[in-house]
């Protein structure tokens, strides 16, 4: 009979995973009873030894997903093999947090961990490695430096974890991760946890994974039925006045609203305007200090409703978990459909209703069409009879409201106020950089966007006022869409203007050609409509069949296809990073071609941002060994054997043995003797030539001929 488990172990929901008793004791002591959804999906697959790529937001329990299976696999402390698991974290704070979490879960296992992060002394890092840790938790920059200094391999690592991988690659650690992965043995299990999958990360995944499993909790193909979408067509100059109106009057002050802005400079500018309007708001962006970020999140998420407006950028909102959110405002329309779903999918959760308002300018029309093609929805334009209950309407903005708040904004941001003027100019410059880094929409979306007729677009029902006059709106639309048929030379002509007569004569001379061109264009449009109608009447099967989603569910799942469909890039919000993203390729003089910055492996970036050689070695480790030579620490005395084992031929199949056979030694001796004989002969000939006896050159040629005959 097997040993019966105690009650406190069987009471835990983690016991169903088959974890060892010491690991379960640590889980119960930590106070965990039921695993989270990501833990229920990941832990059984990881315990089977498969490579895993998991996508889940921050705070979903991803750390326990890889720590518990690793603790179960390593069993107990080993002083011979060295580190058997490696966890890379993007920041020092996250590495320390993971280390603290490991100590609590591994309390009854006897396993040891070592933290290798920047900001600490290299000597402490050397001492930490000498203590024979079972798990190394590190940041890539410092770990790569320590490996180079110690000339150390990680051939015994069996579990390789990239925690918050999207953040790792966003901070520019791609080169360091590649160098570290080369030091790890091929027979390893690679685990990757991330909130999003950027394109650079998907390229890296193809190298270091073996038959991986993709686990996702968020499906970005569908939106909640409780989510209502409103699209507002407006000009760029009308965006901020409309935003101030929505946050100040239109939306309920008790609702929690998240506003997505393009750059951190725009976040600071809008926050200053709201503050001067006495509207309480908080903000978050990527370069914000960690303490300030935590304080602002708590201020917004607090149930006491201290602040109900959050100004945020895409890159900062990626790792924020906001369970209760009522409204989302897209100040700049997302440049990809997946990013649009990523934003608006934060509302209307758990059966709650939600509202998403998106500003659409003339430059954003192609992105707007792209979203509808992705979601499979029809484009609906606002009409006079449209009501506020309709979903997905594209309507115009109320000009009277915008004019009032434009005056308020000008009064708040007076010319004499240097601070607000500086914020506005910096925000406008950053928006130019942001627009240059946005990817273009697909050709089909651009083509359909040009065909949209927005001349008679009515005010969106969401922005209508009770006393709104439709005639006034129609008149304003006619002015906005007015396009003169005359050239500049024909406007207000005078008697002395010869250009007017020239243009009139040109119109008379080319009038027939202009009419023929217009008639030909109208004829092509009519033929296209007739051709499409004939296809429908003849039972033409469209490219996108009605059963395409059903057929998609029956196809064989492929990791490459899944990872490609899940990947999308989030544009950074910092001006420096925006400039770096624009210059992603540089000209290589030796290769005579453009190459990406990530291809340059000769230099790597440290955590401080400095560029150093990949083979950087200062001799600090040798000096540390010399100073600690007389130490009585057993771990230091046994470490030399560990270093030798990490470089041994058994652990590294690519390593070459330095021992030579007797045949190799004899061959080297014969080669050395022939070389000495040839050098002696040349010395004698040179000496004879100097003394005037001659014949030196001929003797050398005879020696070469005799040598070639012997070889034959």
Phi-psi region for residue 346, left (φ > 0), alpha (ψ -120 to 50) or beta? Answer: alpha
3-state secondary structure of 96: helix
Retrieve residue 294's tokens.
Answer: 């935590």
Nearest to 135 by CA among 155, 151, 111: 111
Rounded Cα distance between 94 and 164, Å, is 9
Q: Which of 278-287, 462-471, 515-524, 528-537 has the lowest mean pLDDT?
A: 528-537
Q: In the prediction, which pLDDT does 138 show?
A: 93
Strand extents, DSSP E, 89-168: 113-116, 135-138, 159-163
Please, are residues 114 and 130 in contact by the beta-carbon 8 Å criterion? Answer: no
Across 524-541, average pLDDT: 64
Rounded Cα distance between 669 and 686, Å, is 26
CB under 8 A, 24+ apart: contacts of 7-15: 14/68
| pLDDT beyond 50 at 546 | no
Q: Which residues of 221-252 are buried (b: 16+ CB within 10 A; e: fewer)?
A: eebbeebbbbbbbbeeebbbbbbbbbbeeebe
Element (H, E) at 55: strand 52-55
Q: In the prediction, which pLDDT does 47 show?
A: 93
Domains and CATH numbers, the chain: 7-216 (3.40.50.300), 227-480 (3.40.50.300), 583-613 (no CATH)
| pLDDT beyond 70 at 599 | no
- Mind listing the pLDDT tens digit for each residue in 574-594? 666 666 655 555 556 566 665
Q: Which of 115-124, 224-233, 584-593 has the lowest mean pLDDT?
A: 584-593
| pLDDT beyond 90 at 66 | yes
| pLDDT beyond 60 at 244 | yes
Q: Which has the higher per-residue pLDDT, 264 or 316?
A: 264
Please, are residues 423 and 268 in contact by the beta-carbon 8 Å criterion? Answer: yes
Q: Which has the higher per-residue pLDDT, 333 or 56?
A: 333
Highest mean pLDDT among 331-335, 416-420, 640-644: 331-335
Q: In the prediction, which pLDDT does 580 show?
A: 60
Q: What are phi and psi of 116, to 5 degrees?
A: -120, 100
* Cβ-based neighbours of 208, under 8 Å, separated by 6 or more: 160, 181, 190
How does residue 120 score in pLDDT terms, banded at 50, 70 and 90? confident
- Mind listing the pLDDT tens digit for each residue in 679-703? 889 888 888 888 875 544 555 555 5
Q: In the prediction, which pLDDT does 606 show?
A: 57
Q: What are phi and psi of 298, to 5 degrees?
A: -65, -35
Q: In the prediction, which pLDDT does 522 show?
A: 83
Q: In the prediction, which pLDDT does 550 show?
A: 45
Across 210-231, average pLDDT: 78
Q: In the prediction, which pLDDT does 267 show?
A: 92
Question: Tokens 């030196």 belong to which residue?
Answer: 696
Highest mean pLDDT among 29-33, 114-118, 572-576: 114-118
Q: In the prediction, which pLDDT does 383 show?
A: 87
Q: Which has the higher per-residue pLDDT, 490 or 260?
A: 260
How does residue 97 score in pLDDT terms, banded at 50, 70 and 90? confident
| pLDDT beyond 90 at 658 | no
Q: Which has the higher per-residue pLDDT, 694 or 216?
A: 216
Nearest to 336 by CA among 427, 222, 445: 445
- Mind listing the pLDDT tens digit for each residue in 149-193? 888 888 889 999 998 887 787 777 887 888 888 888 778 899 988
| pLDDT beyond 70 at 423 | yes
The sheet that has 85-88: what strands, in order across it? Answer: 113-116, 135-138, 85-88, 159-163, 189-194, 52-55, 213-216
Across 521-527, average pLDDT: 82
Q: In the prediction, which pLDDT does 321 show?
A: 61
* Cβ-based neighbours of 654, under 8 Å, separated by 6 or more: none
Q: In the prediction, which pLDDT does 454 show?
A: 83
Rounded Cα distance between 87 and 166, Å, is 15
How does residue 134 score in pLDDT terms, banded at 50, 70 and 90? very high
Rounded Cα distance between 304 and 508, Å, is 75
Rounded Cα distance between 232 and 362, Å, is 11
| pLDDT beyond 50 at 414 | yes
Retrieve residue 93's tokens.
Answer: 């704070």
Retrieve residue 28's tokens.
Answer: 């119960």
Q: What are phi and psi of 691, to 5 degrees?
A: -80, -5
> Which percentage of the chain shows pLDDT scores above 70?
71
Retrieve residue 237's tokens.
Answer: 């100059």
């Amino acid at each position: 009979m097997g040993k019966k488990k105690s009650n406190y172990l069987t009471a835990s929901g983690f016991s169903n995973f088959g974890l060892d008793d010491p690991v379960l004791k640590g889980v119960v002591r930590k106070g965990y009873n039921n695993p989270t959804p990501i833990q229920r999906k990941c832990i059984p697959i990881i315990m089977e030894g498969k490579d895993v790529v998991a996508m889940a937001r921050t705070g979903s329990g991803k750390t326990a997903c890889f720590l518990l299976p690793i603790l179960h696999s390593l069993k107990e402390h080993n002083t011979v093999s060295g580190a058997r698991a490696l966890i890379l974290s993007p920041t020092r704070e996250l590495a320390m947090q993971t280390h603290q979490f490991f100590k609590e879960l591994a309390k009854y296992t006897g396993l040891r961990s070592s933290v290798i992060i920047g900001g600490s002394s290299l000597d402490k890092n050397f001492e930490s490695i000498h203590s024979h840790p079972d798990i190394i938790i590190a940041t890539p920059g410092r770990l790569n430096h320590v490996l180079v200094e110690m000339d150390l391999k990680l051939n015994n690592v069996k579990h390789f974890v990239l925690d918050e991988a999207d953040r790792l690659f966003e901070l520019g650690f791609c080169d360091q991760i590649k160098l570290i992965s080369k030091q790890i043995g091929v027979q390893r299990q690679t685990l990757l946890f991330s909130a999003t999958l950027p394109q650079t990360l998907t390229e890296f995944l193809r190298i270091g994974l073996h038959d991986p499993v993709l686990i996702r909790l968020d499906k970005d193909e569908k939106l909640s039925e409780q989510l209502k979408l409103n699209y507002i067509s407006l000009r760029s100059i009308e965006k901020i006045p409309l935003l101030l109106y929505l946050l100040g009057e239109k939306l309920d002050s008790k609702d929690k609203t998240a506003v997505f802005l393009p750059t951190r400079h725009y976040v600071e500018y809008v926050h200053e305007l709201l503050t001067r309007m006495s509207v309480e708001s908080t903000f978050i962006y990527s370069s914000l200090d960690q303490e300030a970020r935590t304080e602002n999140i708590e201020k917004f998420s607090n149930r006491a409703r201290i602040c109900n407006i959050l100004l945020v950028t895409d890159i900062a909102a990626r790792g924020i978990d906001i369970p209760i959110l009522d409204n989302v405002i897209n100040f700049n329309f997302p440049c990809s459909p997946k990013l649009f779903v990523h934003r608006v999918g934060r509302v209307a959760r758990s059966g709650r209703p939600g509202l998403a308002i998106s500003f659409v300018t003339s430059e954003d029309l192609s992105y707007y069409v792209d979203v509808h093609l992705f979601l499979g929805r029809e484009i609906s334009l606002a009409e006079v009879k449209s009501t506020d209950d309709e979903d997905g309407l594209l309507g115009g903005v109320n000009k009277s409201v915008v004019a009032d708040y434009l005056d308020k904004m000008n009064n708040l941001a007076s010319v004499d106020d240097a601070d607000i003027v500086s914020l506005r100019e910096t925000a406008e410059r950053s928006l130019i950089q942001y627009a240059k880094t946005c990817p273009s929409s697909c050709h089909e979306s651009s083509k359909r966007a040009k065909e949209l007729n927005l001349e008679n677009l009515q005010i969106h029902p969401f922005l209508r006022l009770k006393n709104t006059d439709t005639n006034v709106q129609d008149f304003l639309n006619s002015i906005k869409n007015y396009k003169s048929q005359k050239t500049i030379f024909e406007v207000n002509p005078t008697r002395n203007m010869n250009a007017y007569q020239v243009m009139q004569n040109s119109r008379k001379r080319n009038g027939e050609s202009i009419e023929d061109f217009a008639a030909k264009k109208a004829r092509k449009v009519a033929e296209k409509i007739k051709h499409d109608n004939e296809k429908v009447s003849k039972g033409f099967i469209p490219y996108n069949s009605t059963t395409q989603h059903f057929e998609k569910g029956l196809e064989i799942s492929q990791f490459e296809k899944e990872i490609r469909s899940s990947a999308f890039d989030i544009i950074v919000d910092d001006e420096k990073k925006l400039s770096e993203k624009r210059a992603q390729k540089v000209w290589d003089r030796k290769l005579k071609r453009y190459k990406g910055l990530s291809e340059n492996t000769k230099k790597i970036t440290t955590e401080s941002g400095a560029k150093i050689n990949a083979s950087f070695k200062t001799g600090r480790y040798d000096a540390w060994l010399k100073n600690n030579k007389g130490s009585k620490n057993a771990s230091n005395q046994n470490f030399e054997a560990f270093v030798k084992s990490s470089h041994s031929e058994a652990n590294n199949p690519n390593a070459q043995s330095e021992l030579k056979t007797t045949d190799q030694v004899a061959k080297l001796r014969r080669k050395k003797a022939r070389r000495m004989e040839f050098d002696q002969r040349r010395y004698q000939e040179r000496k004879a030539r100097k003394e005037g006896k001659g014949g030196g050159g001929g003797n050398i040629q005879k020696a070469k001929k005799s040598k070639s005959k012997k070889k034959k």
